[in-house]
């Protein structure tokens, strides 16, 4: 199996921890009616060329509107999708092109211990609310209601391990490791705003890298949301191996960039 196929397999496994996948002749529908406002949980996923764009659009609209969910598409392999993109525009869908760096850890461990005053612990029943409070403070993750539902579902799932960093006893950073078949991805890295720029998130990343090494993880991925975050991860041994281009097309609501505060 090549590296790109590894990435796709892990990506699908990640989605299936918080939504259901319905395979179709043209791609897949992801749906979780309990999290109707969570885009990753509710979208039509298209990677191959669509032969009859209008029929697919009609099917997607019927499926999601019957469940009171905004119809949306995640579209990949854009060089094959001109007809679909034109048809979506004709059907009054808004769209945004997303460029997502794909990074892979080089496997090298930093053996420096945590700095004085910093500790890292697994998230459990005793500290889960502290971790949740940090994640709900991050604008890029979306609204509090959506973040809370997603966080609690992932925290309860056996494929996730959540971690909390304290600085002088104060909970300031969180992150989680999603693991599947000796592959893993670093997710939900967050630091309270007033504690950023102090290198704390790097301490947490290095700790999780050691955890991944102990678990014999074969590949550790991360998917930064922009080039600034990409450069941060490069400091900790994550090398950019690809840049994934996609289009998010949606019939209503905010764009992903608007949610992240980029517009």
Per-domain residue ranges for the chain?
A: 3-101+244-259, 104-243
Tell me what pLDDT residue 2 has.
65
Residue 262 has pLDDT above 70, yes or no: no
At residue 142, the pLDDT reads: 58
Top-confidence range, 34-43, 86-95, 152-161, 193-202: 86-95
pLDDT at 24: 96
pLDDT (average), residues 71-88: 96
Average pLDDT over residues 77-99: 96
Q: What is the mean pLDDT of residues 224-236?
A: 90
pLDDT value at residue 96 = 97
Are 164 and 202 a contacting pair, CB within 8 Å?
no
> What value does the mean pLDDT take over residues 8-23?
90
What's the rounded mean pLDDT across residues 155-162? Answer: 95
Residue 138 above 90 pLDDT? no
Per-residue pLDDT band at 263 (split at 50, 70, 90):
very low
Q: What is the pLDDT of residue 244?
A: 86
Q: What is the mean pLDDT of residues 197-208?
A: 94
Contacts of 81 (CB under 8 A, 6+ apart): 46, 49, 50, 75, 247
- In the block, tokens 């992903």 appear at 256
The pLDDT, as a whole number, for residue 1 is: 47
Reply yes or no on whether the pLDDT at 108 is more than 50: yes
CATH class label, 104-243:
alpha beta
Averaged pLDDT score across all residues of the chain: 92
Mean pLDDT over 127-142 rounds to 84
Residue 97 has pLDDT above 60, yes or no: yes
Asked if the model's pLDDT at residue 67 lies above 90, the reply is yes
């Amino acid at each position: 199996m090549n590296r790109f196929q590894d990435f796709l397999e892990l990506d699908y496994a990640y989605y299936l921890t918080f939504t259901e996948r319905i395979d179709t002749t043209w791609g897949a529908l992801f749906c979780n009616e309990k999290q109707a406002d969570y885009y990753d949980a509710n979208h039509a996923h298209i990677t191959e060329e669509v032969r009859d764009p209008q029929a697919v659009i009609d099917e997607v609209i019927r499926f999601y509107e019957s469940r009171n969910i905004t119809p949306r598409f995640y579209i990949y392999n854009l060089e094959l999708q001109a007809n679909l993109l034109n048809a979506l525009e004709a059907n009054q869908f808004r769209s945004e092109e997303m460029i997502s760096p794909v990074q892979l850890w080089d496997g090298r461990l930093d053996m420096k211990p945590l700095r004085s005053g910093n500790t890292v612990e697994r998230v459990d029943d005793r500290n889960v609310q502290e971790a949740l409070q940090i994640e709900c403070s991050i604008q890029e993750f979306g609204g509090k209601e959506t973040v809370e539902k997603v966080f609690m579902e992932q925290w309860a799932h056996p494929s996730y391990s959540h971690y909390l960093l304290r600085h002088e006893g104060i909970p300031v950073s969180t992150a989680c490791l999603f693991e599947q078949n000796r592959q893993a991805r670093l997710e939900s890295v967050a630091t309270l705003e007033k504690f950023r720029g102090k290198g704390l998130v790097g301490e947490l990343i290095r700790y999780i890298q050691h955890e991944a090494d102990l678990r014999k993880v074969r590949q550790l991925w991360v998917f930064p949301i922009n080039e600034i975050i990409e450069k941060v991860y490069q400091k900790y041994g994550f090398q950019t191996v690809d840049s994934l281009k996609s289009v998010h097309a949606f019939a209503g609501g905010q764009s992903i960039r608007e949610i992240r505060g980029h517009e």
